[in-house]
Chain A
Amino acid sequence: MKTPSPALPLSLAAKLGLLGTAALVGLPILGLGLAWAYPVGLIDAPPIHTDRLVEATSNTVMLALLVTVFALVLGSLFAWIQVRWTFPGSALLTRLSVLPLVLPSFLLAATLREGLAPLGSLGELLGRQERFDGFGATVFVLVLSCTPYVQLVVSAALKRLPRHTEEAAQSLGASPSRIVREIVLPALRPALGFAALLVLVYAAADFGAVAVMDTQVLTYELYQFAGRGGVQAPLIGGLLIVAISPLVILGRRLGGDYGSSELSYVRSGHTAGQRPALWVQTIGTALLGTYLVFALVLPLMLITRWGVLIPAQGPLIGPLITTAVVGVTAGLATLVLGGFPAALVAQSKGKRGALETLTFVASGVPGVMIGFGLLQLALRVPQGSLRSFAEGGAILLLGLALRFASHSYAALKPALLTQSEQSIEAARLLGASRWRVWRQVRGPHLAPALASGFLLSFVAVVKELPITLMLIPAGHTTLATRIFDAHEDAHLGDLGVAALSLLGMVLVAQALLWRWSRHER
């Protein structure tokens, strides 16, 4: 029997918000359906080649799987080095190896394609003869891009592992390798499953890197066919949903309820890292070093060279302001869209698994698909104030909020779950009004989660490409679209300057985020 919650408005608002959320999630699908039912095109639509669709689908799946396997191995290795080992340089290198996540995948792809070309900076050194593009190159780039996420998740899990179970195993005579095999890996399974899900969805939904590398996958195909009329595009969009949803559901099952339930741990005493054998140190350092060269050093070098040496063609101030505005407003919108499901799930003490899965599926849908669906919907709204409102930024915000709702959801749900009803009851017995309860009890408890949810979304929004590309109001550019366009136009100066600004913005936000989450812990 649940004691009636004192904050009744929250419950009602949560239910309304839920309805609204469901409606909003359906909008891109509605747009997809409209594009399918009423295809419009000036020129005859391209014929549908099923073998091309099949190839694109299999490429998407293979890309996702390959990237996941490699990123899991590499990221777990880096996490292990970070948490379990200590040797000269290990701390610095494993801190640096997380940094590449500030680089959007399309930026990484653009710099690597240029840098590893036969006459590129590194390409020449390595004596490369071939172009650096296509499926293999895309796998490479996405692995570099995803490894930091795996490292973050796995290192956090490793830190949380109760040391005593490993010591117990030791006292029972288990060798170090047996301990890793039979104790550590099974305990890491939820974290590994969660990381696998992250990477699977990221790689399957990626647009920027695959576009730069010209890989034939569903997301890039959708983008190319969007706006050409015919049913090719909505068909691909449907395929995308069908391909990715089971991945998300499977991944959720693998990883379980990871991330939201383990809130208290028995922190065993002192956990200084061991010093492994010299050959292990050498390999570890070499691996980290190589990774950093490709994922961090080369891209930054090129971006800086381009930004500084090649004159930019267009002004930077417009995209800079637009990016900041979009980032902030979309970040806030994400808090709303992710906050309501979180509140509802927290109210039922974490029982509404289906709602949670829906939130994650909505966020697993590729940006290209969301952008396409919403655009098609907006195009069919008759000219007028609603249409202007939609194209003036509403669908952009909606699209971004849908895409990144899971960020704020994941940040808010634990905070809402751990909100002790007893502390609220105590406050009310001491005479606090409802507003005061919000201000001085609920609010401060939620504030760090709100801040980190906002910052997570801000960073994701600012780095996002396909939704912004398709839905940004006419005449506006963001830093991300400027980088992408500049790459297509080979205006490397603009690319460099915009990239440097974007990285600056992301670094600031990410640093704030890390500071906040350390306070919280």
Chain B
Amino acid sequence: MSANVLSLDAVQLAYGDTVVTEGIDLTIKAGEWVSILGPSGCGKSSILRAVAGFMEPSSGSIELFGAPATAPPERRGVGMVFQDFALFNHLSVRDNIGFGLKGAAGAEVRVNELLKRCELTDLADRLPAHLSGGQQQRVGLARALAPRPKLLLLDEPFANLDADLRGELGSWCAQQIQSEGAAALLVTHDRREAMALSDRIAIVDGSPGRLQQVDQTQALYQKPNHQAVARMTGEALLVPARAADQRARSAFGDHDVLAKIEGSVTLVIRPEHMDLVPDANGPLVVDHSYFDAQQWMHRLRYNGQTVTVAQNQRLNADRLSLTTRSPLWAIAR
């Protein structure tokens, strides 16, 4: 039918009587990378488990490769990479990777190929206990890719790794998955990770978690349809205002607004929109300034919100005032 690898339609997930996520509508095309971004506890891991077949949706439907997903996990043809690596501790790296191939013809060739690609050949006979975190996750990915799944599920796979390793491993993972031609569904709470790796991002927020918006990264950033989306995609100051005729008035004065929208709105002021000026009576309080390799970062407080803004020079002031220099996005209230 369609080239959709995965299709979630109004999926609701519950444990017993407790609903953890609902209203999930999502499709993933072949070869596409979609990330589910959201804070902890909004049930995003449950979505992955439902796709993998470890739990049934309490309502809604899941389609895998164009057919309803009814098979047990071992027959879905979906690969999975885990946060805690979940390697088989009593098997060597080689045997871990070859596990899903069940000694089929060409298994050895495939395993060697993956060992080479993931730079694990020297470690092929080691046990997981003797590997570093990064090495273990590489094994985890190689193992999941070995059976050539068309869809790969990644459950916060880099959360247990050192910060500097995360970025590296993340992009390396994306490369491997792309060269296999598989689609990927990543679950993470790390915005930078989601943005670096995904074609599209689905923002899930709330308790129970709800799908707020699904779109390409830049679109989400520039045109969030919800305050939560705005916050999750970057630094923002969310300011109430009254809009009319592509102009809006807020406590900071008047601003240009991108779309035609009337009435009460919330303006999304990103750091790149801000012109900041020291002002003893200004509404923005400077909490803390520090130098961060190329720029001066200023953490500002306004009305209970905190936003961190980069400037080329240090703003030596306790309070600042703000004007905006480009049209802003407004969310209807």
Contact = CB atoms under 8 A, between A and B. Distances in A.
A507 interface: no
Contacts of A270: 15
Residue of A171, A173, A183 most packed against chain B (CB within 10 A) = A171
Contacts of A183: 88
Interface in A185-202: 186-187, 189
Contacts of A167: 52, 54, 73, 80, 82, 86
B42 to A, nearest CB: 14
Interface in A133-190: 162, 164-165, 167-176, 182-183, 186-187, 189
A266 interface: yes
Contacts of B75: 173
A171 B88 CA distance: 13
B91 to A, nearest CB: 8
A266 B78 CA distance: 24
Contacts of A169: 88, 99
* SS class, residues of chain A in contact with chain B: helix
Nearest to B149: A171
B89 interface: yes
A171 B144 contact: yes
B73 A171 contact: yes
A503 to B, nearest CB: 38
B90 A187 contact: yes
Residue of B79, B86, B99, B147 most packed against chain A (CB within 10 A) = B86
Contacts of A266: 84
B170 interface: no
B122 to A, nearest CB: 23
A251 B267 CA distance: 70
B102 A171 contact: no
Contacts of B79: 171-172
Interface string B30-65: 000000000000000100000011100000000000
B94 interface: no
B82 A168 contact: yes
Nearest to A169: B99
Contacts of B90: 186-187, 189
Nearest to A183: B88
Contact of B86 (A164, A186, A189, A269): A164
B144 A165 contact: no
Given A167-B54, A167-B73, A172 B147 contact: yes
Interface in B86-128: 86-90, 99-100, 102
Contacts of B88: 165, 168-169, 182-183, 186
Contacts of B102: 173-174
Contact of A175 (B15, B74, B84, B87): B74
B87 A172 contact: no
B143 interface: yes
Contacts of B144: 168, 171-172
Nearest to B77: A173
Given A167-B54, A187-B89, A187-B90, A173 B84 contact: no
Given A164-B86, A165-B86, A174 B54 contact: no
Given A167-B54, A167-B80, A173 B74 contact: yes
Given A167-B54, A167-B73, A187-B89, A172 B99 contact: yes
A84 to B, nearest CB: 15
B165 to A, nearest CB: 19
A171 B99 contact: no
A255 B90 CA distance: 15
Nearest to A179: B74
A165 to B, nearest CB: 5
Residue of B45, B54, B76 most packed against chain A (CB within 10 A) = B54
B222 to A, nearest CB: 36
Contacts of A186: 88, 90
A40 B294 CA distance: 94
Contacts of A170: 52-54, 72-74
B5 to A, nearest CB: 15
Contacts of A189: 90
A164 B45 CA distance: 13
Contacts of A168: 80, 82, 86-88, 140, 143-144
Contacts of B87: 165, 168
B84 A162 contact: yes
B41 to A, nearest CB: 12
A171 B78 contact: yes
A111 B10 CA distance: 63
A344 to B, nearest CB: 27
B101 to A, nearest CB: 9
Closest 4 CB pairs of A and B: A172-B100, A164-B86, A170-B73, A171-B80
30 contacts: A162-B84, A165-B87, A167-B54, A167-B73, A167-B82, A168-B82, A168-B88, A169-B99, A170-B53, A171-B74, A171-B76, A171-B78, A171-B79, A171-B80, A172-B79, A172-B100, A172-B143, A172-B146, A172-B147, A173-B100, A173-B102, A174-B74, A174-B100, A175-B74, A176-B74, A186-B90, A189-B90, A266-B84, A269-B45, A270-B15
